[in-house]
Structure formats: structure tokens, C-alpha cells
Amino acid sequence: MTYLLIYNPKSGKGKIQKDLPKIKAFFKEKKLPLDIHETVSQEDAKSYVVTSNKSYDCVLVAGGDGTISTVLNGLMLLKKVPILGVLPYGSANDVSHILGIPKNIMQSLELYTSTKPAYIDTYQMNDHYFLYTAAAGLFTRISYDIKRTSLNQFGQIAYYIEGIKDLTSNYDFKMDIQSDDISITKHITLLLGLSANRVGGIPLLFKTKSKLDDGLFEINLFENKGFLSKLRVLSFFIRFGRKVRSDIVLKASEFKINTSNDVKWNADGEYVCDGNITIKVLPKSLPVFMSSRSKRKLLKGE
């Protein structure tokens, strides 16, 4: 196995810099080849994957969900997609939690050098690839509007502070949503698409029975009904996604969503585009390293 480590030096208050000697020593002891690339910008993570003259069996990403998203959009352009391994160094670390990756760096590396990968679905919003969530409306701008200094100073709490501020904004978007067997038009405060039960650092323990390899994507709609709409969204997160009668949940392998140009779309916490979108499922298109527990919980075949 050949490995490439791509790391964001700004993630996790720069902790990756301190861990690099341990990582290098681990691969040297295992006699496994490891190349290392430090990103100089967010987009650099993608371009390096695409333009590198070498091919790798596994790409390790040390950073937050934003860095993982950028690397994914490079990996999916390759003829042969390498195995993705995640080293959690971000603030929310949704992807690493979903995949069951240990926080301990040495335990993570053992997982990536001693287990077999699983194949999971990826998703495409227009021409952008993502792993676990797509959204528009209330709270969804926070992940890319929040200042890096706030994240470094307050960590996860910074998201909650920005979330409270966002409650003063008015979100009322008319959306026409179509799939093979779905046709629905609603005025929306929040559209939240999920492939797993975690988003924005919040565990949604009761939300979804979806699997990471079931070929479907789940959309949750929160209608705009005045101030009560915001309370319903808050209630959804407070009850950790437990379903109530008013919930609108759609599942399909592809959605076409028509809406106004002032709607900003977020995928895996990154701003993607405005206005009309198509979301497609790409079944079992990405090999990833996961914990045994996550495989049992989140894969159909486990």
C-alpha cells in the first residue's frame, strides 16, 4: 500500500504539526511508503490530488470537514479512486464521527494499515461532490461564514453562537422538488439533506435509518410557518432528530430542485452554488476506512 497524507496546518489549532513526527515514525516502523503534502490553501488540497504525478492506494486527510470535502472533489475526478482515510483535526469532525474514526492518532493509523476498506455512496450537487449533508436555509451559512479566529478560540461553541445570531434572519424560499416518484412544492425555512445521523457537530441519534451504501439520499423539509418554523427547527436538533408527525422526509436516488437565485446551497459545510440544483447518488463509488462498529451500523451488508 502506498499512502499520501494531505494536511491542513490551520486545522485543530495546528495540532497536526506536533503529530507529524509520530505519523512519520509510525509509517517508517511499518515500512510503508508515505508522501506528505501541506496545503497552502483550501483549493490546493483538490488540485494537488488531481495534478500529482504519482498514484496512491490511500489518501489520508488530516483536517476538518472542509478539507475532507475539498480532497474528495479531487479524488472523484481520478480514474481510480484511492481509499479515503480521515485523521480528525477539525472543529466539528462530522465525517470522522460518522466513520467511527478514533480521536487517538495512533489508533487511527492502526485502523488504516490493518483493516479492509468499505465502499460507500457519494453524492453530487450539480458538479460538486459531497459525503453526508446538503442544505439551504436557517443555520446553513454558519459553517462557511464563521471566522477562523472564532473557531480557534471557541471551537464547537463558536457554531452555537453564530446559530443564535442566525435566528434573527428570515428564511422563506419557495422550492419545487422532483424525483421519479416525488413532486412537491413548499415554502421552506430549512432544507436539510442527510446520509447519516450527524451534522454541524450535533448527533441526530434518532434521525435516520439510511445506510451509507443504500443508493438513496434523504431530504428533510421544514416549512415556513412564521416564527414557529424556527422553533420546529430548534426542536428537531434538541430532540436529536426524533421524528414527529409534522416532519416531511423524502428519499430518492436523484432530486431536481428549482428555487430562486438567492438560495445558497451548502454541502458538507462548504458553500457550493445558488439557485437550481440536481442532487444525484453515486452508489458505492468511494472506498473508505471505517471502524467495525460504523460498518455494522451504517452499511447494508454488515
pLDDT, tens digit (0-9, with 9 covering 90-100), for 60-95: 999 889 899 999 999 999 999 999 999 988 777 899
Domains defined along the chain, listed by start: 3-114 (3.40.50.10330), 132-279 (2.60.200.40)
Tell me what pLDDT residue 247 has. 79
Task: State the helix-helix crossing angle for 15-30 and 105-114, rounded to 10 degrees.
Answer: 40
pLDDT, tens digit (0-9, with 9 covering 90-100), for 123-163: 999 999 999 999 998 767 655 455 544 444 445 554 544 55
With a CB cutoff of 8 Å and minimum separation 6, the contacts of 201 are 91, 92, 93, 94, 156, 159
pLDDT, tens digit (0-9, with 9 covering 90-100), for 238-251: 776 777 767 788 99
Overall average pLDDT of the 180-208 stretch: 84
Query: Mean pLDDT for the chain?
Result: 86
Tell me what pLDDT residue 288 has. 98
Total-model pTM? 0.88
Tell me what pLDDT residue 12 has. 67
Tell me what pLDDT residue 90 has. 78
